[in-house]
Chain A
């Protein structure tokens, strides 16, 4: 019954549950008042965008060594690491990664569940067995799953920017927001009442986020000589998250260009055919 009640009233109030959802499931729309994330340069932006393999590999390293200790990515499979359009590790490398993890399988013939090394077909194992366990370990907050996260975050662009974005093909609100969030930790301004166990973030809706600053300079050791800074880490892991959320982006843009060429040529041919057909008919 209480459900019914809350549904009824939901029609009339755009709930101020931001305080409640704090860190649990941040609303996709950045709250009014939070500054707009800076528009970054992404290799996967624009009509010919592709992922930067080295960046995805670095981003995966950050995810594996840092983020995945709290965040799940339950739709992400080990085999994805070796598929075209991704970080494109070799199959052997992906297999090695999978085997580092123990995956519960079963039941066996005796009816018992058992652990075995991961396989390519396995999904990324979640750090917590369930939501309650995740909350219990994270001060009541539920670290969101990475599977679609980069597409699940945005901010309001407003008029006329939202129309210009159609022409410029700007689709990177999510990655821009995530990057801004990761570099947006700072001391709370004077007079800001920061709730217990929360951290001040310039770009988080409401500014009070339960996730402590997740990464610091030099925490992950890169082997390719890329700078080991918070900024670089967050760019890399954001690109990785975008790929996890949209694994076929490269194929989409490539096929899109082919379709466009076909349609434009086809339209041209139809236009001249139409002109010829109608030539002798005034209209």
Chain B
């Protein structure tokens, strides 16, 4: 997608086609000849893993829809029908339900990688923002998907989350009724969530195309944060990145398969195997694990509207990271102070996640407040100030210099792994 295709069709039929629609050339320039920094580590394979997970979710989801019935009296039993009577239905359903969690594990690693290596900085702001939009769409999609089996947690999760919108003054209650399609979470709600749950993944796919397009315009960042300066700094995407991504994907699939085949209900809630009952509230209404940090922030604020704004603000602030980080140095590798604050922030996020799973009482709420304040302080105070006060380490002149410098020191350790000669 970067334009200059080096693809030259040989076959006359292909030549004829290429001169009318240069599709193969586009694929060739995007996924074969595309120059990739030679020093990408395995954290960079998560982009490919995410594409794989999106395809996996769409394919398994399309098959599930063939057997699912979106009606409050039938939804729960139709999911169980898939689990019991459909050939390999249990497999497809567990792929889809665990796949959602795997998708989020991958996206969080992908985002953390971007934050650590400064992948959001100029000229990659649009790329980063498109990623944030994908993340938002993923959250909406996963939320509506969790409602579809119409278990207890589906129903009560939908009730709590849709109720958040009632916090907005004046228009709040109207928005909630509009979301519900009535005066409570009911069949109309299930039907529209089903419809949107089918629609949003294709919107995600659309934004992913833009995300990849933006990536191929500005090029990939790399662990040094130094832009490729010569042909020596890059390798062609195929075979170098393709084989590395493929290896990363299969390793990720092993992790996925562990959950899928051996502990398929570990990441879900037992309550969701109880059919939805509007008259019985579960003892603890807890969202899926990937929302827990935001759930903790929601409950940390004593005011309902304040809580809702805080929760959404936690995601909105990500959109502004390219401008909140004032450092001239891109990669966290050369930023000794940033590095430490980055890891503190990771611990804070995990801590918020843990608090989100706890009841909102006593010490949990106080801890939640402290961590919520820190979460925002990281972006609004620490990141801007770090750029002004931090003394970064010397940044290498080029990727090749960084690679050769590193390998000189480590060469004898394992002969096969890092032969220091370059191919260019």
Contact = CB atoms under 8 A, between A and B. Distances in A.
Contacts of B404: 282
A122 to B, nearest CB: 14
B423 A3 contact: no
Contact of A152 (B258, B271, B360): B271
Nearest to A260: B257
A248 B270 contact: no
A29 B273 contact: no
B422 A281 contact: yes
A267 B251 contact: yes
Contact of B90 (A153, A252, A263, A279): A252
Contacts of A170: 263
A166 B271 CA distance: 19
A14 B283 contact: yes
A133 interface: no
A29 B271 contact: yes
B422 A153 contact: no
A214 interface: no
Given A8-B166, A282-B419, A173 B159 contact: no
Contacts of B283: 14-15, 17-18, 27, 29, 31, 205
Given A25-B274, A270-B250, A10 B422 contact: no
Nearest to B79: A148
Contacts of B113: none
B2 interface: no
B264 A17 contact: no
A106 interface: no
A241 to B, nearest CB: 12
Interface in A200-251: 205, 245, 247-248, 251
Interface in B150-200: 152, 156, 159-160, 163-164, 166, 183-185
Contacts of B38: 281-283
Interface in B377-424: 403-404, 407, 416-423
Contacts of A251: 90
Interface stretch (B53-61, B239-247, B314-322, B328-336): B239-247
Interface in B73-96: 77, 80-81, 83-84, 90-91, 94
A11 B160 contact: yes
Nearest to B417: A275
B260 A256 contact: yes
Interface in B33-51: 38-40
A4 B183 CA distance: 7
Contacts of B309: none
Interface residues of B, number: 69
Contacts of A59: none
Contacts of B304: 11-12
A66 interface: no
A271 B246 CA distance: 9
Contacts of B207: none
Among A20, A31, A80, A278: residue with most chain B CB under 10 A: A278
Interface string B207-224: 000000000000000000
Interface string B99-140: 000000000000000000000000000000000000000000
A47 B262 contact: yes
A148 B257 CA distance: 23
Interface in B270-301: 270-271, 273-274, 277-278, 280-285
A279 to B, nearest CB: 6
A263 to B, nearest CB: 5
Interface in A30-60: 31, 47
A152 B274 CA distance: 6
B271 A252 contact: no
A154 interface: yes
A75 interface: yes
Contact of A278 (B163, B240, B280, B420): B240
A205 B246 CA distance: 48
Contacts of A194: none
Contacts of A15: 281, 283
Contact of A281 (B152, B354, B360, B423): B423
A15 B84 CA distance: 34
Interface of A: 1, 3-4, 7-8, 10-12, 14-15, 17-18, 20-21, 24-25, 27-29, 31, 47, 75, 80, 144, 147-149, 151-154, 159, 165-166, 169-171, 173-174, 205, 245, 247-248, 251-253, 255-257, 259-260, 263-264, 266-267, 270-271, 273-275, 277-283
21 contacts: A3-B184, A3-B278, A8-B166, A28-B274, A29-B270, A148-B273, A149-B273, A152-B273, A154-B270, A166-B258, A169-B263, A174-B270, A252-B261, A253-B261, A259-B257, A260-B258, A270-B243, A273-B247, A274-B247, A283-B38, A283-B39
Nearest 4 Cβ contacts at the A-B interface: A256-B261, A152-B273, A154-B270, A27-B283
Given A281-B235, A283-B403, 18 more contacts: A7-B159, A7-B163, A28-B274, A75-B81, A151-B265, A151-B270, A151-B273, A251-B90, A252-B264, A253-B261, A255-B261, A256-B262, A257-B261, A259-B261, A260-B258, A263-B250, A264-B254, A282-B403
